[in-house]
Amino acid sequence: LAKTTQPISMDSYEGQEVNITCSHNNIATNDYITWYQQFPSQGPRFIIQGYKTKVTNEVASLFIPADRKSSTLSLPRVSLSDTAVYYCLVVSGGYNKLIFGAGTRLAVHP
Amino acid sequence: SQTIHQWPATLVQPVGSPLSLECTVEGTSNPNLYWYRQAAGRGLQLLFYSVGIGQISSEVPQNLSASRPQDRQFILSSKKLLLSDSGFYLCAWSAPGHTMNTEAFFGQGTRLTVV
């Protein structure tokens, strides 16, 4: 399984765009990139999944360069309620063994 | 729709006592099932992973065991709890691997304190 590396923490302000980058240098051909969000005392919640290029949903966008060795989760116009821990996972397609790293602790300030 | 039930929400147990946490999933068949533990301020540690009845993969050596007696039931157990077993335990399910969908759904968690 590909190991992921992401910043331990980030700070932002309400209304700003936040970009969290994750590196996964040894990603395999059939691996997918997935991001989760976790609030205190709750289980993680799926945000977005991608394989290559760009994926967008109502919550976030995921940018994946051609070499797929990194990915960037983009949160547009964050609010205080976006304060949470964000996890980047690399998951083998067809296997679905979900290994979480330490995540990035995002703090959004007024 | 699919739902996941995990109980109890909180539990205080003395050292050396047994443990049984139960998780059930409704509305889906042959799910992948997971048990995670999260220490305070830390990330999630995958404890057990199951792709079917009786098929359990243990991810870390520890004082815990897991069983899957039915397709949508996943049980986490211990014969004798240690202080280090304290933490937030989360059960999760995801669709069978062949669907290429990596979305997992988590239960509400059990906060276990071993005293």
pLDDT of residue B11: 96
Q: Which amino acid is at B86?
A: S
Hey, is B4 helix, strand or coil?
strand
pLDDT of residue A95: 65
CB atoms A97 and B43 under 8 Å: no
pLDDT of residue B99: 59
Q: How high is the mean pLDDT in each 10-residue block of chain A (110 residues)?
A: 89 98 91 94 94 93 96 97 96 76 95
Cis peptide before B14 (omega within 30 of 0): no
pLDDT of residue B82: 94
Distance CA A20, CA A4 (A): 13
Question: What are the chain B neighbours of A29 within 8 Å (beta carbons)?
Answer: none
pLDDT of residue A1: 63
- Output helix, strand, coil percentages for chain B, rounded to the nearest 5: 5, 55, 40
CB atoms A100 and B109 under 8 Å: no
Residues A46-64 pLDDT 10s? 999 999 989 999 999 999 9
Question: What are the chain B neighbours of A93 within 8 Å (beta carbons)?
Answer: 100, 102
Do the strands B87-94 and B32-38 form a parallel or antiparallel pair, or are they unpaired? antiparallel
Interface of A with B in 14-53 (CB under 8 A): 32, 34, 36, 41-46, 49
pLDDT string in tens for chain B (115-residue length): 889 999 999 999 999 999 999 999 999 989 999 999 998 888 899 999 999 998 998 887 678 999 999 999 999 999 999 999 999 999 999 987 665 667 899 999 999 999 9
Q: How many CB atoms are closer than 10 A to CB A41?
A: 11
Q: How many CB atoms are closer than 10 A to CB B3?
A: 12
- The H-or-E segment that residue A90 falls in is strand A84-92
pLDDT of residue A3: 85
Question: What are the chain B neighbours of A60 within 8 Å (beta carbons)?
Answer: none
Distance CA B64, CA B81 (A): 8
